[in-house]
Amino acid sequence: MNNGTIVSLIDVHKTYRTGEMEVPAVRGVSIEIKCGEFVALMGASGSGKSTLMNILGCLDRPTTGHYILDGADVSGLDRDHLADIRNRKIGFVFQNFNLLPRTSARENVELPLVYGVQRLTNAELRERADRVLASVGLAGREDHYPSQLSGGQQQRVAIARALVNQPEVLLADEPTGNLDSKTSVEIMAIFQQLNESGITVVMVTHEPDIAAYAKRNVMMRDGVILDDHLVSQRSNAATQLKTMTGSNASVV
Amino acid sequence: MTALGIIIGVGAVIAMVGIGNGAKAQVEAQIASLGQNVILIFSGSTTSSGIRTGWGGAGTLKIEDAEAIRREVPGVIGVSEEVVSTTQVAAGNQNWFTRIYGESADYFDIRQWPLADGAPFTSQDVRSANKVCVIGRTTATQIYGNENPIGQILRIKEVPFTITGVLTPKGLSTQGVDQDDIVIMPYTSAMKRVIGGTTLRNINVQIADPRQLEAAQQQIISLLRQRHNIRPGRDDDFTVRNQQEIAQAATATTAVMTILLGSIAGVSLVVGGIGIMNIMLVSVTERTREIGVRMAVGARGNDILTQFLIEAVTLSSVGGVIGIVCGIGASKVLSAYANWPTLISISSVAIAFLFSAAVGIFFGFYPARKAAALDPIEALRYE
């Protein structure tokens, strides 16, 4: 039905109003992202990439243009419907993790399930959250609080939270922005591994070496797409980790 | 700390209403101790050289009036002619200044005042004006201490009376008079041997059925006007009161007091509610990022609204429960130390709790709606 296209933006504009001034942030972007792609969205600050990310994440609606997500036009939906789309089809990973403090890793991961359409029992919630936490290498840390976890571990909890509802698209906004280089590679290894298993990943970054882990790079400037190309020399995070840390390398 | 306003408010409501209800119950108990379905007829006042005496001063009520009421008014089950005086009484080397009540044998039934010990005087004693009396607990203790007064001789104005019984204690009246500081004797004996005079201060009448009270009261009035030859248009030379009127006046006073205390407490509940709203607004601001995260993972506006409402209601309900405990505690302390009667009713506890929950909903709604209306992008970016 969607011939492999999961995300399709058609001439999307977004204009912010600050008083009398109209500030165009996105000025006519059309892009198609197919199932199983790993796209890095790049650009300087003010290039409109964050605004585009918010639209892709159904946090914001385009002023004009259409956004077809998984075969359905979501550009005209109201707040509650957008909330449902975010819950079912999109997983978010943020630069600053955005975990709930004073809430255990497991409860953080359970959060999207709580707001889901399915009514799950506590045991089911726990089982699913623990399974996803284990898949990002955090088995045994389910009861830790964010303050007890390192930055990389917190970001993995956030990834687990993004994955728990089995979304169509994983959206990551500068996922390595707050992490050191080694932890960044670890997170990229998880992303690449997830992408291998078939999950579509869209990631905003301004670091070219992080973008090099993606399959496709999209450059933005002044609200339009400047350049869109496939990555020829793709970095492999798992291999890099091995060479970086020698024998005691463990990705997940 | 947050719920302090609610705690104080609910506690105050419970304590205040408890005090109010306690006072009301006490007043009601005292009114009931006057007897059930009782009509009191007081002798009128008289004016002598421009000086008006109070009720009973004129001595317009005669023994024959009481007998006529007993004979002619239907539904009457007890009549007690009453004369009252105060005098010194003595026994052995002890003496005591107390009140002397002359009554008929019906008096103990009318007042629902049983004896703790011994026997009351009889109608025969009343007819023969025998020198017998029953005494109240206070009088008994003051004169006889721990001794049993029954059968002892009590000298009243140098007349020796035999004590036949001791009354059960009744405590203080609504006016604070010690009702147990009393000597009760046949009114005939009192009139002949102690007080003198031929007229009654008042007549106590008991009616069988409360529904007959009004009718009986009217009949007594017309009977007495007829007996006293009062022409139509002239004032009665006596006053008739029934116990319900007295009770209504007294309970109305305490009801006003309860409402007053309750509304003071209500004001502090509202203040507490504003405190809750304030805290919830601060909480919404502090947790803006959390709200953004929740929205990003799929929480609808209603989910956020519900969450914050539940938090506000939990906060105020916890405050309410603590307030109820504090209020009950305060009531008990007041009862114990200030000797104020308090009465905590289930309904006042329930109302206070529901009210505190309602305060939570009411004052929590605005912050919760504010949280639900947040823009997820703004909320996520909030530092």
DSSP notation for B248-310: HHHHHHHHHHHHHHHHHHHHHHHHHHHHHHHHHHHHHHHTHHHHHHHHHTT--HHHHHHHHHH
- How many Cβ atoms are within 10 Å of B137's Cβ, its own excluded? 20
Cβ atoms of B218 and B56 within 8 Å: the answer is: no
- State yes or no: ipTM above 0.85: yes
Average pLDDT in chain A: 90
How many CB atoms neighbour CB B122 within 10 A?
Answer: 14
pLDDT of residue B46: 58
Neighbours of B50 (CB within 10 A): 5
CB B162 within 8 A of CB B132: yes
Q: Name the residue with higher pLDDT: A188 or B359.
A: A188
Quickly state the pLDDT bin for A252 (edges 50, 70, 90).
very low
Q: Is pLDDT of A1 > 60? A: no
| B299 close contact with A: CB closer than 8 A | yes
Can you tell me the distance from the alpha carbon of B204 to that of B309, in angstroms, rounded to the nearest whole number?
Answer: 62
Tokens 């909480």 -> residue: B283
Given a contact cutoff of 8 angstroms between Cβ atoms, the answer to whether A13 and A28 are in contact is yes
- Note if the pTM is more than 0.80: no
Whole-angstrom CA distances from A95 to A156, A191, A222, B69 are: 12, 14, 22, 99
Q: For residues B164 and B135, give the distance between their C-alpha atoms in angstroms, rounded to a whole number.
A: 8
> Percent of chain A, pLDDT > 70?
96
Hunting for tokens 């002798």 — which residue is that?
A: B43
According to the model, what pLDDT value does residue A193 have?
Answer: 93
- pLDDT confidence of A251, banded at 50, 70, 90? very low
Alpha-carbon distance A192 to nearest alpha carbon in chain B (angstroms): 22
Do residues A200 and A170 touch, judged by C-beta distance below 8 A? Answer: yes
Question: B155 pLDDT exceeds 70?
Answer: yes
Contacts of B376 in chain A (CB under 8 A): 59
CA terminus-to-terminus distance, chain B: 26
Percentage of chain B beyond pLDDT 70 is 95
* pLDDT level of residue B48 (50, 70, 90 thresholds): low
Taking CB atoms and an 8 Å cutoff, what residues of chain A touch B300?
79-80, 83-84, 115
Using DSSP, state whether B1 is helix, strand or coil. coil
Beta-carbon separation of B296 and A86 below 8 A = yes
Instruction: Quote the strand ranges of chain A, DSSP E.
Output: 5-18, 21-34, 38-42, 64-69, 72-73, 90-93, 169-173, 200-204, 216-221, 224-230
**B48-67 average pLDDT score:** 72
Residue to mutate among B290, B293, B297, B377, with most A CBs inside 10 A, is B297
CA distance A82 to chain B (A): 8
Token digits of residue A57: 């994440």
Which residues in chain B are contacts of A165 at CB distance < 8 A? 298
Place of tokens 């005939």: B188
pLDDT of residue A42: 93
Residue A138 is predicted with a pLDDT of 92
Of A92-96, B343-347, B376-380, least confident by mean pLDDT is B343-347
**CA-based Rg of chain B, rounded to a whole angstrom?**
32
A111: confidence class by pLDDT, cuts 50, 70, 90: very high
Give dist(CA B353, CA B11) in Å, integer: 10
Give the number of other CB atoms < 10 A from CB of residue B254.
19
Res A171: pLDDT: 95
Contact A142, A130 (CB under 8 A): yes
What average pLDDT does this structure show over A217-221? 93
Residue range B108-141, pLDDT digits in tens: 988 888 898 899 999 999 999 999 999 999 999 9
Q: Does B290 touch chain A (CB under 8 A)?
A: yes
Over residues A111-117, the mean pLDDT reads 89
For residue B320, the SS3 value is helix
The mean of the pLDDT values for chain B is: 85
Structural domains in chain A? Answer: 36-59+80-248 (3.40.50.300)
Min mean pLDDT across A58-62, A86-90, A217-221, B173-177 is at B173-177
Dist. CA B200–CA B56, nearest whole Å: 7
Chain A residue with CA closest to B304: the answer is A115
Query: What is the reported pLDDT for B57?
Result: 58
Give pLDDT, residue A191: 94
Among B103-107, B145-149, B257-261, B307-311, the minimum mean pLDDT is found in B257-261
For residue A46, the distance in angstroms to the closest alpha carbon of chain B comes to 15
Residue B159 phi, psi (nearest 5):
-95, 125
Nearest CA in chain A to B291: A100
Antiparallel, parallel or unpaired: β B159-167 and B115-118: antiparallel
B32 touches chain A (CB under 8 A): no
Put simply, whether B298 touches A (Cβ < 8 Å) is yes
Average pLDDT over residues B200-215: 86
B298 and A165 within 8 Å at the Cβ level: the answer is yes
Amino acid, res. A110: E
CB atoms A86 and B298 under 8 Å: yes
Residue with tokens 């571990």: A153
Pairwise CB contact (< 8 Å): A83 & B295 = yes
- Residue B124 has a pLDDT of 92
- B294 to chain A, closest Cα gap in Å: 8
Burial B201-230 (b: 16+ CB within 10 A, else e): bbbbbbbeeeebbeebbebbbebbbebbeb
Instruction: Please compute, for residue A91, the number of CA atoms within 13 A of its CA located in the half-sphere on the CB side.
Output: 26
Confidence band, pLDDT 50/70/90 cuts, at residue A39 = very high
Q: Which residues of A touch B294 (CB under 8 A)?
A: 111, 115
> Residues B309, B365: contact at Cβ < 8 Å?
yes
Residue the block writes with tokens 């203040």: B271
Q: Does residue B306 surpass a pLDDT of 90?
A: yes
